[in-house]
Amino acid sequence: MRLNYPPPQISEEFERLCLELLRTHWKCPSLQLYARRGEKQFGVDIFDEGGGSPLLAAQCKLHDSWISLSPSEIEGEVGKARTFPEVVGVYGILTTAKRSGDAQRLVRKIKKEHKLAGSFSGEYFPWDKINELLNQSPEVAE
């Protein structure tokens, strides 16, 4: 039976949920929250402190569940991640917003461009995908 989990309403709770979920999904227990509010974060809320390669990093975007992440917001976050002080290998954007075709097409376009340029690959996690991963990882959902 598939459960529908409600998205967190507080940014810090959403970041902690994303951290635990990505530790499981990316099989990377050394993921940590990056910096703190008010510090320059370069579009990164979560990163791998373990020194592994490729560097795993992610951005968490808390939004109302009835809206979609805009293409300009995605482009902005990816642009910031390109300026991260270390070379990012895999970059994820996780959001409580709903899935949209515009966002999916843009992420696909960015992935293709980055592959040609030898830049980082990416993953897009709208809330329905996060919910699916929570159903696959009940220990994280708890």
**What ranges make up the beta strands (E) of 3-130?**
31-33, 46-48, 55-61, 88-95, 121-125
72 burial (CB, 10 Å; 0-12 / 13-18 / 19+) is exposed
- 25 in any annotated domain: no
Rounded Cα distance, 135 and 100, in Å = 21
- 109 in any annotated domain: yes
- 121 in any annotated domain: yes
Q: Which domain holds residue 95?
A: 31-141
- 18 in any annotated domain: no
Amino acid at 11: S
* Structural domains of the chain, count: 1
- 5 in any annotated domain: no
Where residue 108 sits, what CATH number does that domain have? 3.40.1350
- 136 in any annotated domain: yes
- Which of 28, 25, 90, 97 is CA-nearest to residue 60? 97
pLDDT band at 11 (very low <50, low <70, confident <90, very high): very high
- 111 in any annotated domain: yes
Query: pLDDT tens across 45-66, in order?
Result: 999 999 888 899 999 999 998 9
Rounded Cα distance, 68 and 94, in Å = 12
Angle in degrees, CA 111, 88, 17, rounded to 5:
90
Give the pLDDT of residue 32. 97
Query: Which two structure tokens, joined as six digits, stand for 113?
Result: 């461009």
Query: pLDDT tens across 76-131, in order?
Result: 999 999 999 999 999 999 999 999 999 999 999 998 998 899 889 999 999 999 99
- 7 in any annotated domain: no
How many beta carbons lie within 10 A of that of residue 51, not counting itself? 8
Strands laid side by side in the 46-48 sheet: 31-33, 46-48, 55-61, 88-95, 121-125
